[in-house]
Amino acid sequence: MTGFAAMDGGDGQGLGWNWDLRSVNARGLDLRLRLPEGMGALEAPLRRLLSEAVTRGAVTLSLKLARSAGVLGGGDEQRLQAALDQIARLQVMADAQGIILAPPTAAEILALKGATEAGEGAAGLPDPDRLMAEAGELIGAFNKMRRAEGAAVGVVLLAQIDKLAALTEAAAQAAQARGASHAARMRAALAALLDQTDLDEARLLQEMAILALKTDVTEEIDRLRAHVGAARDLLAQGGAVGRKLDFLMQEFNREANTLCSKAQDGALTALGLDLKLVIDQTREQVQNVE
């Protein structure tokens, strides 16, 4: 199921961060985390939180850090002073060798790695407990959006199931109407064969009975009705039913295929094709269900 949530945070001293959580449809659960350098310890607890909240979908969680331009946080002044001291020592060494170095600009000094950013495990990173609390809020907002989308998809799915139910009943009526004409055609064909050829009537009747069984769609109609009931029960049940509905759509399609192959009748074949179309449309919506 698709979903999205975002959140901004900061420490009030120039260090800010941005959360981004989104998901797209997938058959199973695929979690992808993108965390800043030095925040690897958060990966395991974040995965656990997401696994408890989501059971299906390709989910991507991103956390990005950014320091406000011109703002030095705790420890930045010391790191900057250390960088300036290194530059001064380098200039002294260059002068001793007769090498003239152009003085660096302030922008170039601030761009030096480590001049104003803490290394992994050092001060200057956000408080992990605060980040985990924000992650819980983020996932709550994420699931709120997904629930709203799920409710809308549920309405669409119920309408699709109603269409499948109506087509199933229409197919049952078409099969019943086909039965009388089909039996009459078989009796006429049997009489013609017996009049024109010297065939074993008992053997011929046996073969025609087998043929009649092969074209009987009663079982397929009964299974389609059962699948309609099962689909309605799953939607009423709620929760993570996406995989069960996905499997049920496969069973719907199997029965519709068999119905078409046994139809031997234009009207019944047309209804079988209509069933396959609605099943495909319903399956597309099922992909949006967790």
User: Each residue of 148-172: pLDDT tens digit?
Assistant: 888 889 999 999 999 999 999 999 9
Residue 282's pLDDT is what?
Answer: 94
**Average pLDDT for 248-259:** 94
Residues 173 and 252 in one domain: yes
Residue 120's pLDDT is what?
Answer: 37
Q: Is residue 7 part of a domain?
A: no
Residues 82 and 182 in one domain: no
Q: How far is CA 95 from CA 86, 112, 130, 285, in A?
A: 14, 22, 49, 73
Residue 276's pLDDT is what?
Answer: 95
Q: Of the ranges 86-95, 177-186, 256-265, which one carries the lowest mean pLDDT score?
A: 177-186
Residues 237 and 181 in one domain: yes
Q: What tokens does 24 get? A: 């797209």
Residue 52's pLDDT is what?
Answer: 92
> Does residue 262 have a pLDDT over 80?
yes
Q: How many domains does the chain have?
A: 2
Residues 214 and 271 in one domain: yes
Residue 14 confidence class, pLDDT cut points 50, 70, 90: confident
Angle separating helix axes 242-262 and 266-286, nearest 10 degrees: 170
Share of the chain above pLDDT 90, in %: 42
Residues 220 and 277 in one domain: yes
Q: How many CB atoms lie within 10 A of CB 54?
A: 21
For 120-152, what is each residue's pLDDT tens digit?
Answer: 333 467 889 999 999 999 999 999 998 888 888
> Does residue 1 have a pLDDT over 50?
yes
Percent helix, strand, coil in the chain (nearest 5)? 65, 10, 25
Residues 159 and 217 in one domain: yes
> Which runs of consecutive H residues, i.e. helices, occur in 54-200?
76-96, 106-111, 128-196
Whether residue 283 contacts residue 157, with contact meaning beta carbons closer than 8 Å, is answered with no
> Does residue 250 have a pLDDT over 90?
yes
Q: Is residue 139 part of a domain?
A: no
Q: Is residue 138 part of a domain?
A: no
Domain carrying residue 103 = 76-111
For 195-228, what is each residue's pLDDT tens digit?
Answer: 666 666 666 556 555 555 556 788 899 999 999 9
For 176-200, what is each residue's pLDDT tens digit?
Answer: 887 656 656 666 666 665 566 666 6
Angle at 225 between CA 221 and CA 227, to 5 degrees: 115
The counts of H helices and E strands in the chain are 8, 4
Q: What tokens does 68 get? A: 């406000």
Residue 132's pLDDT is what?
Answer: 94
Residues 167 and 270 in one domain: yes
Residue 290's pLDDT is what?
Answer: 81
Q: Is residue 209 part of a domain?
A: yes
- As a whole number of angstroms, the longest Cα–Cα distance in the chain is 123
Q: Is residue 3 part of a domain?
A: no
